[in-house]
Amino acid sequence: DAGVIQSPRHEVTEMGQEVTLRCKPISGHNSLFWYRQTMMRGLELLIYFNNNVPIDDSGMPEDRFSAKMPNASFSTLKIQPSEPRDSAVYFCASSPGLAGTNTQYFGPGTRLTVL
């Protein structure tokens, strides 16, 4: 299996621009998670989906952030407009099911820099 695929791996953009991060989960996994990692705040869960339906978006920092999962094999995280404080590594993870004993498999991350 190719694992969780994220693109792009690196993104540099200017403040005010729209940024779209993409994720392809492992085939057969029905839960998908978006995390953000920074030195200051550590690893934060932003939103998660089950069977393509958003379950909990309470971790999304602001209305500038939105996430979609149009089908079982694709999800996007969009920031519009972007700000320098959004600079972080964004991880997508997928899992056979919600939490419990299920292992989450992480992608390699997208390193976002907003100038």
Partner 1 sequence: AQSVTQLGSHVSVSEGALVLLRCNYSSSVPPYLFWYVQYPNQGLQLLLKYTSAATLVKGINGFEAEFKKSETSFHLTKPSAHMSDAAEYFCAVSGISSGSARQLTFGSGTQLTVLP
Residues at the site binding partner 1, with contacts judged by CB under 8 A: 4, 33, 42-43, 45, 48, 56, 91, 93, 98-101, 103-109
The string over 57-74, giving b where at least 16 C-beta atoms fall within 10 Å of a residue's C-beta and e elsewhere, is eeebeeeebebebeebee
Bridge partners of 51, per DSSP, are none
Shortest Å, Cβ 16 to partner 1: 28
Closer CB to partner 1, 17 or 102, in the complex: 102
CB distance 98 to 105 below 8 Å? no
Shortest Å, Cβ 43 to partner 1: 5
The string over 14-24, giving b where at least 16 C-beta atoms fall within 10 Å of a residue's C-beta and e elsewhere, is eeeeebebbbb
Closer CB to partner 1, 74 or 106, in the complex: 106
Closer CB to partner 1, 81 or 89, in the complex: 89
Shortest Å, Cβ 34 to partner 1: 12
